Every structure is written in C-alpha cells, then in structure tokens.
Amino acid sequence: MRQAGRSLPEYRALRERHGFFEIAGTPELCAEVTLQPVRRHGVDAAVLFADIMSPVLGMGVEVELVEGVGPVVGERIDSAAAVEQLRVSEPEEWAAPILEAVRLVRGELEPDRALVGFCGGPFTVAGYLVEGRPSRDFVRTKTLMYREPETWHALMERLTEQFARYVAATAATGADAIQLFDSWVGALSVSDYREFVAPYSARVLGAAGVPTIHFGTGTTTQLLAEMAAAGGSAVGVDWRISLDDAWTVVGEERAIQGNLEPAVLLGPWERAEWAALDVLRRAAGRPGHVFNLGHGVLPQTDPDVLTRLAELVRSYGHAA
Ligand code: CP3
C-alpha cells in the first residue's frame, strides 16, 4: 500500500511538525513512519519512506513536494547544459540517513515481514525533471526525446547510474525487495518505450541483487509485455486491467502485484469487499500473487477500511 501513511493521523501529526525531506533525512523519523502502516494494519511488508525524487536531490536538483500537486522542480532539466550539471554520487554521500533507516527498520521488523525499498523509473523521474512539475501529456518530455535524442539518452544515462547505485546500496543494507515505480510509463507508445526507456529500467532492476517489482500505470497489454521483458521478478499492475488477463500477458512464471482500484475503498465496505475478493479470485491461488492496490492509497481513505482490507486478504489466504 504505497503512500498509506498519507491517510494516517499519526503520519499527519508528524508532518505538521516536520517537512517531508526532513523526515526522510532523519533516520529515527524515517524508520518510524515506515513502520506506522505495518503496526496499524498488520501488512506483510513495510515500504521504505522516501520519494521517487529523493535520489535526484543527491544529484543537485532542487525539489519540493507540493501538497495536492506533486513534485515541483526548481529549474527544468530540458537542455544538454542542464543535464551536464547533474552529478552522479555515491549513496553513502547523499542517502546515509535513508540507509541508516533501513538498518533501524530491519532491526525492528519481524523476520517474516519484508522491507521494500524503491526508486522511480528513469522515465517517470525524467518526466518530472523535464516538465518541472506533474504533467498529463508529457509534451516537453516527448519533444526532448524526439528532437534531441542524445540529450534524452544522456539524461537517462545519469538517472540510471544514480538509481542503480541507490537500489544496490538499499538492498545491500537490508531491503528484501526493490520496487521500480515507472508510474507514468503508460503515456508512451510501445516502440518509444522499447527505444527510449526499457534498456534503462532493465539496468536499474538488474542492479538490485534482490527480488524486484516492476510497476507502471495505464499500461496496455502490449506495454505490459514490454515491461515484463525489461525485467522484474514481479510485475505490478494497476486496476484498469483484470489480474488474470495481466497474468496471461506477463507469463505464469512471473509473479504479479496488484490490483485493487484504490477509489473503491471510498465506497461502501460491501463494494470494496466484493472488489477485493474479485482480485483474489482472479489470482486463483497462484503462489506469486502480492495483493496490493492498483496505485497508491488515496489520502481520503479511512484507515479502518485499510485495516479491514488487510484482515480480509489474510483470512482469504488462510481459508484457501
Ligand atoms: O508508502 C509510503 O508512504 C512510502 C513512500 C513513498 C512516497 N512516495 C512518500 C510520499 C513512495 C513509495 C512514493 C512513490 C512516489 N512518489 C510515486 C510513485 C507511486 C506510485 O505508486 O506510482 C510518485 C509518482 C511520487 C511523486 C509524488 N510524491 C507525488 C505524486 C506526491 C503526492 C503529492 C500530493 O500530496 O498530492 C508525492 C508526495 C508524497 N510522497 C507523500 C508521501 C507520503 C504525501 C505528501 C507529504 O507527506 O508531503
């Protein structure tokens, strides 16, 4: 349950006193908010508290996470000169507090619960850097890709190197799995994905050294197949596609994470329960199903509904 913290009063209380990157940069606070959803909902995994933009702070980029908007970048990275300015750096230099938080969390978490580290997909993060803020159509990003392919590849090269080092360090420090969030990859055609994105995502996934989850949203079956080919022990799918159809596309030997519509949790419990059971029925007891929402938890979600959902999924597992 990504961004589950947003719906929790205990997270909000902490956020009133501390900035986002202040929490992520203070090992004790970072460990605390990482563990909050596990304590409350009893889920099987903790998601390390950071943001997909955290590694670019280490590259010298100014980023602000604006509530209700998303990441906003100080100056757009949309030219060869701007890309030149991006520094690739050792995680020990810029991510020491996050790595310390990994140690703290791993020390507190029961051995049978996983700690999931993550990074953004190079495409999704490049999109924020080139656009300067969240975008629907990624027009500036695509313009750069088509008009200045060398600049695009240089940007992807640097992001990939930074993310590969980061996920390797996170895993080596104690994360049990790494998730790559290529959240906005659905904006791309299949052939552009193959040419401009897939080799970079593959490199980051290949650097983790632990099981990986490769996630995107708005992914057509063709794009999902390309993402599966690029890598990931598991493929994460959003709610737009039925889980069983997605499984046919990525192949039975692959695990799947997904894919309850997050907004259904805002409706009556009976509807949420039906939708969750539908996901579980479509997974049909396959061993490689990681039950999850198809995207992040919406901030309006009642935390008690999340707890109830976690209980439902657990009891279904036991009954099967
Ligand atoms: O579960 C967790 O809370 C773990 C940490 C986590 C955050 N962001 C913390 C966060 C994770 C895994 C992310 C990933 C992330 N960040 C993604 C990929 C998510 C996915 O499922 O596709 C994306 C696209 C981002 C960029 C980003 N950061 C957005 C769009 C926002 C929302 C802005 C808003 O408030 O509407 C953020 C902010 C953010 N990142 C919050 C949290 C808990 C909430 C705001 C805050 O506390 O300041």
User: Which residues form ligand 1's pocket by a CB distance below 6 Å?
Assistant: 2-6, 15, 20, 47, 49-52, 65, 67-68, 70-71, 118, 181, 183, 295-296
Location of structure tokens 């999704």 = 124
- For residue 259, the CA-to-ligand 1 centroid distance in Å is 18
Mean pLDDT of the chain: 96
Location of structure tokens 């079956």 = 221
pLDDT of residue 2: 62
- Pair of tokens at residue 46: 């903790």
Question: What are the structural domain ranges in the chain?
Answer: 9-319
Closest CA to 51 of 138, 106, 118: 118
What CATH number belongs to 9-319? 3.20.20.210
- For residue 202, the CA-to-ligand 1 centroid distance in Å is 23
Residue 47: helix, strand or coil by DSSP? strand
Rounded Cα distance between 81 and 59, Å, is 14
Asked whether 296 and 2 are in contact (CB, 8 A), the reply is yes
Ligand 1 atom closest to residue 183's alpha carbon, by position in its atom list: 22
Quickly list H helices, 111-235: 122-131, 139-147, 149-173, 190-192, 198-207, 221-230
Ligand 1, atom 7, residue with closest C-alpha:
51
Ligand 1, atom 37, residue with closest C-alpha:
70
- For residue 20, the CA-to-ligand 1 centroid distance in Å is 10
pLDDT of residue 320: 44
Dihedral sign, Cα of residue 78, residue 80, residue 82, residue 85: positive
Rounded Cα distance between 220 and 190, Å, is 9
Burial of 40 (0-12, 13-18, 19+ CB in 10 A): buried
Rounded Cα distance between 240 and 251, Å, is 18
Rounded Cα distance between 294 and 262, Å, is 6
List of the chain residues with pLDDT < 70:
1-5, 317-320
pLDDT of residue 318: 59
Burial of 180 (0-12, 13-18, 19+ CB in 10 A): buried
pLDDT of residue 7: 87
Ligand 1 atom closest to residue 1's alpha carbon, by position in its atom list: 1
